[in-house]
Amino acid sequence: MRILLADDHGMVLDTISAYLETEGRAQVVAVEDYHQAMKVLAKEDPFDLVLLDLSMPGMNGLDSLSDAIKAHPTQAFALLSGTAPNRIAQEAVERGAIGYLPKSMGAKSLVNAVRFMIAGETYVPASVMADSGAEAETEFTKKLSQREKQVLGSLCHGRSNKEIARELDLQEVTIKLHVRTLCKKLNAKNRTQAALIAKDAGFE
C-alpha cells in the first residue's frame, strides 16, 4: 500500500511512518504541511490513502479537507488528529473523508484501520462515534474543561507530561498545572489515581 502522510510534528511523522512501513509494509511519502501534500498529489499518481493532520501549517481545518477532496475526487482522504473534539470526526466523514484516526492509537490498531480504509471502508473508532455530540453529557465530564478532558485522556493512555505537551502543543509547565487541577477536581492523590478514577467512570 502507498500512503501520503502530512503532519508538522516530526516525531509523530516519524513514528506513524515507521508503524506503517514496518507493521503494514507500506510505502510512505511524508510531508510537513498541507501545501506540500497538495503539491505531491498534483505531481504523483493517486495514493491508496492520504492522511492529513487537522492542525498543521496551511491546513484550515475541515475547509482544507473539503478543498483537497474537491481537487482530487478520486483520492481517498482520512483525517489525523491528537486534539480534535469527537464531533470533528463525524463532520469529516460527512464532508467526504473515509476515516478519522486519533494520534493516540497503537501501532497495530493504526495499521488495521489504514488497511480497513484502503479496502474501501470508512473507519472511525467506536469510542469516538459513541462520544460525538455527547462529549460533556455525563456528570463526570461536566466538571471538566475541554482542555482538561484532553489532558485526562492522555493520562489514561499513560503519557508523560512532556508527551502530552508535545501532542497538545503546550508548555510542559501548563500540563503540570492541568494535572494538578485534575487531581483536585477528581479528588485523586496523583496522576495514576486520576486516570484510574476516569477509567472507572467510563472516560478514556
31-79 pLDDT, tens digit each = 999 999 999 999 988 999 999 999 899 998 899 999 999 999 999 999 9
Written as one letter, the residue type at 37 is A
C-alpha cell at 176: 503540570
Report how far residue 33's alpha carbon sits from residue 69's, in angstroms, rounded to the nearest whole number.
16
Question: Over 90: is that where the pLDDT of 190 sits?
Answer: yes
**What's the pLDDT score for residue 74?**
93
Average pLDDT rounded to a whole number, residues 113-137: 74
Q: Which of 8-12, 134-138, 173-177 has the lowest mean pLDDT?
A: 134-138
Q: What is the per-residue pLDDT for 135?
A: 47
In the predicted model, what is the mean pLDDT of residues 12-22?
90
- DSSP annotation of 21 reads I
* For residue 203, pLDDT beyond 80: no
Q: What pLDDT shows up at residue 89?
A: 86
Amino acid found at 201: A
Q: Do domains 2-131 and 139-200 have the same CATH topology?
A: no
Grid cell in block for residue 171? 508548555
102 membership: H or E segment, kind and range = strand 100-102
CA 125 to chain centre: 11
Q: Which fold is adopted by the domain 139-200?
A: Arc Repressor Mutant, subunit A (1.10.10)
Kindly report the average pLDDT of the chain as a whole number.
88
Pick the most confident of 27-36, 102-111, 143-152: 27-36
The helix/strand/coil state of 2 is strand
Fold of 2-131: Rossmann fold (3.40.50)
- Residue 84, pLDDT > 90, answer no
Between residues 82 and 117, which one has the greater pLDDT?
Answer: 117
User: What are the residue boundaries of the structural domains of the chain, listed by start?
Assistant: 2-131, 139-200
Q: Is the pLDDT of residue 99 over 60?
A: yes
What does the pLDDT read at residue 177?
94
Read off the pLDDT of each residue in 82-101 and give the average, rounded to a whole number.
Answer: 85
Per-position b or e across 30-46, b if 16+ CB within 10 A of its CB: bbbbbebbbebbeeeee
